[in-house]
């Protein structure tokens, strides 16, 4: 009797623990299909190239990517990898892309600060000289470094895509401070600025204005430049930037898995053989 | 078990060495000839798996140190550099980060195995206590390792946990100041955590040697919990258990490889890829999954010092378990009542893990407000944690001592080789608890 009761109580506890919690949560990011998902997934190089263009022409005016070097663009698995140039520093496309960008340096003769064209050995420059300048230009918020943003947010590329396409007019009853923008995918708590009826709206406000608009970027491969297309492509580019070794990792993993599986099978066979005469 | 060595030096050099340093003899006695019960099941393979885990952590850790920079301004970037620019750095770092999780998976299974089969009972108390110390050091090592990449969770996790020690009266404040190397978590903290994170695994390795030494004095327990009685009951460790452990280790490696190659960040928290910023506190500070049950116990107690004591007590109680358990029967195969309470204990531990990941005041059943008891609604994770915490301690402090005195165990087989079935006269129907699980 007692034992049954305890077992039931335990079952009840287990069920309770499984159920979800409720609070003011942002909207679930839209779940997209990505070419780089799954154990055999690879980046879509054309998509990465378009994504780079979106970053370069739009996002880079506010966001640094200081972990990414121009040479990375020409590495295996990167947007401008060309098997003719195993050393990305020789890749003429990468050199040309770098040379388009000015980076700060010191004149080695006079010691004066100068601007010079970047080389493949430079990392992407920061748009602001320091944090105070970044804050000052963005209503008090610092645009985060985008090198690893894809790993630093729950949902990764799905979240970034959703955030970029997600800007909508705030529902009536929500007070938005100047310089702030409502986005249902951005985590936040709007209880304090909500005077409307019904539930507090999902999401939060952020200092980034909607950065994309139709035809904001012209894609060289003729792809139609909708906001959704730009968002998808830049999210894929950021996923690559966060995990530039992903393709190497997965192909290495395949070899490791095959090796381990064969070895496991062999050792299991030896186990059966060695133990065959032992009653246990 | 010890005392009779069958090693015979084969070459002249081995004979010469054997008289001066019998190291080959020792290796032979521990890893080749060691008589091992022949009925060990796969739960017994986790010891070998743990040894491999420790070696993987040490080897990958030393390679990481070659590239890691223990400074608040460089630590985060140096870990990113390891993943981007060091050849196979991503492999080393993902092996180390996921290796820590795999290590804890293995140690939790290993401890559960010991609890179920009563392996902590006489004469294995010292063996068990060394194991508890290893587990404690593993937790300290993993906690300090998690601080090293200096992401948001690293920093704020370190702040939360080190602040707890401040709850101790009189000495608390000095301990935190000493740990911090100042008056807040900062560069000196990172540096001393780095030094200790390098040191502790080698202390663990030393304790593992003692653990194995103690094991070889008393010998393995086994699924029926009956002492080895004759030569019929045992097989030499090699090749029988080298091959069985080897197989289990490889299966474990397959799981490990899945995480490293295909899902390396799933066990971690996204916030730890945001560089540490003391001025921005993450909305929800959670420790790594393997600490969650203890984190829930900590938060279950409304008083800070009480919470800290409960958290440490939850581990401390393991140390005295051999003297809390009054049952003479080792294996729970023959203790159906104890088995039931034990499974509830496992459920309570898992529930605590869930609660540790939730906000304490969030409702367990969404949208239902019941009534407030003391400081929180009854339908909240904090109350669920309290319930589970209560059971956790009651299991060790009340149920285990009482059960041994009150329960009627099933008949236990005479020996490993003589299955209980050969004594039909003394065996009630259904007495053999799942004999198919033996191998
Ligand atoms: C008991 C064995 C060990 C455990 C459980 C352990 C655990 C951990 C954990 C959880 C991390 C954080 C990983 C992350 O999320 O980035 C870490 C980082 C680190 N560990 Fe260990 N570790 C062990 C042994 C060692 C040893 C022996 C060394 C060096 C000799 C070492 C050096 C490092 C370094 C340099 C880092 C920072 C790099 C990084 O965060 O990836 N570890 N360790």
Question: Do residues B252 and B49 lie in contact, with contact meaning Cβ atoms separated by under 8 Å?
Answer: yes
Check residue A280 and give its pLDDT: 67
Please determine, for residue B434, whether its predicted confidence score (pLDDT) is greater than 70.
Answer: no
CATH code of the domain made up of B24-285 = 1.20.810.10
Please determine, for residue A63, whether its predicted confidence score (pLDDT) is greater than 80.
Answer: yes
Check residue B368 and give its pLDDT: 80
Check residue A6 and give its pLDDT: 47
Q: Shortest Cα distance from B344 to chain A (angstroms)?
A: 6
Residues contacting B152, CB < 8 A, separation 6+:
B271, B272, B274, B275, B276, B277, B280, B282
Q: What residues of chain A lie within 8 A of the CB of B273, using their CB?
A: 148, 151-152, 242
User: Is there an atom of ligand 1 within 6 Å of B201 CB?
Assistant: yes
B269 is in an annotated binding site: no
Question: Do residues B404 and B387 lie in contact, with contact meaning Cβ atoms separated by under 8 Å?
Answer: no
The rounded percent of chain B whose pLDDT value lies above 70 is: 95
Q: Quick check: ipTM above 0.85?
A: yes
CB contact under 8 A, B84 and A249: no
Please determine, for residue B433, whether its predicted confidence score (pLDDT) is greater than 60.
Answer: no
Alpha-carbon gap, residue B190 to B155, rounded angstroms: 9
Mutational pocket test of ligand 1: of B197, B199, B271, the residue with most ligand atoms within 8 Å of the beta carbon: B197
| Burial (Cβ within 10 Å: 0-12, 13-18, ≥19) of residue B367 | exposed
Alpha-carbon gap, residue B150 to B275, rounded angstroms: 6
Give the other-Cβ count within 10 Å of B230's Cβ.
10
**How far is the centre of ligand 1, averaged over its atoms, from the C-alpha of B56 (Å)?**
11
Check residue B3 and give its pLDDT: 52
Check residue B420 and give its pLDDT: 43
Q: Which of residues 194-213 of A touch B (CB under 8 A)?
A: none
**What is the position in ligand 1's atom list of the atom closest to the CA of B288?**
10
Alpha-carbon gap, residue A124 to B296, rounded angstroms: 43
Q: What is the mean pLDDT of residues A158-168?
A: 98
**How far is the centre of ligand 1, averaged over its atoms, from the C-alpha of B142 (Å)?**
7
Please determine, for residue A1, whether its predicted confidence score (pLDDT) is greater than 50.
Answer: no
Q: Which fold has domain A22-68+123-272?
A: Cytochrome Bc1 Complex; Chain D, domain 2 (1.10.760)
The predicted-structure confidence for B277-304, as pLDDT tens digits, reads as follows: 999 999 889 999 999 999 999 999 999 9
A20 CB near a chain B CB, below 8 Å?
A: yes
Please determine, for residue B431, whether its predicted confidence score (pLDDT) is greater than 90.
Answer: no
Considering only CA atoms, give the Rg of chain A. Answer: 26
The domain spans of chain A are 22-68+123-272
Residues contacting B307, CB < 8 A, separation 6+:
B164, B167, B297, B298, B299, B300, B301
The rounded percent of chain A whose pLDDT value lies above 90 is: 87
**Is 0.90 surpassed by the pTM of this model?**
yes
Question: Do residues A62 and A149 lie in contact, with contact meaning Cβ atoms separated by under 8 Å?
Answer: no
Q: What is the mean pLDDT of residues A173-181?
A: 93
**How far is the centre of ligand 1, averaged over its atoms, from the C-alpha of B96 (Å)?**
6
What kind of architecture, by CATH, is found in domain B286-414+433-439?
Orthogonal Bundle (1.10)
The domain spans of chain B are 24-285, 286-414+433-439
Please determine, for residue B2, whether its predicted confidence score (pLDDT) is greater than 60.
Answer: no
Average pLDDT of chain B is 93
The predicted-structure confidence for B198-220, as pLDDT tens digits, reads as follows: 999 999 999 999 999 999 999 99
Please determine, for residue B428, whether its predicted confidence score (pLDDT) is greater than 80.
Answer: no
Average pLDDT of chain A is 91
Check residue A117 and give its pLDDT: 97
Cis preceding-peptide flag for B239 (omega within 30 of 0):
yes
């Amino acid at each position: 009797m007692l034992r049954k009761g305890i077992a039931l109580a335990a079952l009840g506890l287990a069920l309770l623990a499984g159920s979800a919690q409720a609070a003011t949560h942002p909207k679930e990011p839209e779940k997209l299909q990505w070419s780089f998902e799954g154990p055999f997934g690879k980046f879509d190089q054309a998509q990465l190239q378009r994504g780079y263009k979106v970053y370069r022409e739009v996002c880079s005016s506010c966001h640094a990517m200081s972990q990414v070097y121009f040479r990375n663009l020409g590495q295996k698995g990167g947007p401008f990898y060309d098997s003719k140039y195993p050393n990305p520093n020789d890749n003429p496309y990468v050199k040309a892309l770098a040379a388009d960008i000015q980076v700060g340096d010191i004149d080695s003769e006079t010691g004066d600060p100068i601007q010079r064209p970047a080389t493949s050995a430079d990392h992407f420059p920061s748009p602001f000289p320091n944090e105070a300048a970044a804050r000052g230009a963005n209503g008090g918020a610092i645009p985060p470094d985008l090198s690893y943003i894809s790993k630093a947010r729950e949902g990764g590329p799905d979240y970034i895509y959703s955030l970029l396409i997600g800007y909508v007019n705030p529902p009536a009853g929500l007070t938005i401070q100047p310089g702030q923008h409502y986005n249902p995918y951005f985590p936040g708590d709007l209880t304090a600025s909500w005077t409307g009826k019904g539930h507090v709206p999902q999401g939060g406000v952020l200092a980034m204005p909607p950065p994309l608009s139709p035809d904001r970027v012209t894609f060289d491969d003729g792809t139609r430049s909708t906001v959704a297309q730009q968002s998808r492509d830049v999210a894929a580019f950021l996923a690559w930037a966060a995990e530039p070794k992903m393709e190497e990792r997965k192909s290495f993993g395949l070899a490791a898995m095959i090796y381990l599986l064969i070895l496991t099978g062999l050792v299991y066979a030896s186990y059966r053989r060695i133990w065959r005469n032992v009653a246990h | 078990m010890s005392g009779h060595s069958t090693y015979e030096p084969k070459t002249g050099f081995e004979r010469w060495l054997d008289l001066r340093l019998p190291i080959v003899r020792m290796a032979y006695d521990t890893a080749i000839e060691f008589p091992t019960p022949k009925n060990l099941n796969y739960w017994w393979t986790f010891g070998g798996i743990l040894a491999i885990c420790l070696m993987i952590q040490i080897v990958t850790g030393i390679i990481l140190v070659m590239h890691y920079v223990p400074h608040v301004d460089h630590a985060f970037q140096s870990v990113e550099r390891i993943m981007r620019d060091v050849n196979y750095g991503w492999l080393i770092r993902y092996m180390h980060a996921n290796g820590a999780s795999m290590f804890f998976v293995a140690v939790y299974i290993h401890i559960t195995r010991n609890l179920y089969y009563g392996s902590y009972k006489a004469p294995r108390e010292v063996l068990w206590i060394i194991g508890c110390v290893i587990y404690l050091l593993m937790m300290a090592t993993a906690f300090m390792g998690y601080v090293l990449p200096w992401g948001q969770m690293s920093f704020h996790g370190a702040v939360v946990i080190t602040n707890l020690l401040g709850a101790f009266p009189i000495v608390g404040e000095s301990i935190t100041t000493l740990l911090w190397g100042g008056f807040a978590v900062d560069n000196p903290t990172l540096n001393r955590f780095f030094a200790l994170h390098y040191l502790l695994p080698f202390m663990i390795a030393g304790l593992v040697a003692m653990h194995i030494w103690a094991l070889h004095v008393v010998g393995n327990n086994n699924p029926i919990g009956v002492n080895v009685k004759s030569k019929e009951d045992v097989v030499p460790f090699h090749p029988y258990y080298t091959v069985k452990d080897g197989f289990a280790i490889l299966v474990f490696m397959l799981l490990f490889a899945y995480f490293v190659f295909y899902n390396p960040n799933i066990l971690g928290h996204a916030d730890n890829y945001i560089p540490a910023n003391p001025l921005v506190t993450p909305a929800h500070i959670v420790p790594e999954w393997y600490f969650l049950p203890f984190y829930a116990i900590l938060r279950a107690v409304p008083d800070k010092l009480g919470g800290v004591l409960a958290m440490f007590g939850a581990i401390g109680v393991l140390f005295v378990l051999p003297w809390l358990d009054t049952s003479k029967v080792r294996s729970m195969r023959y203790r159906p009542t104890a088995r039931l309470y034990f499974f509830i204990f496992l459920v309570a531990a898992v529930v605590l893990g869930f609660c540790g990941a939730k906000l304490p005041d969030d409702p367990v059943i969404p949208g239902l407000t019941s009534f407030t008891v003391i400081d929180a609604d009854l339908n909240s994770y904090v109350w669920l944690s309290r319930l589970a915490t209560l059971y956790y301690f009651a299991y060790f402090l009340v149920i285990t001592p009482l059960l041994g005195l009150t329960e009627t165990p099933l008949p236990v087989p005479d020996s490993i080789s003589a299955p209980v079935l050969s004594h039909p006269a003394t065996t009630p129907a259904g007495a053999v608890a799942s004999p198919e699980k033996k191998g």
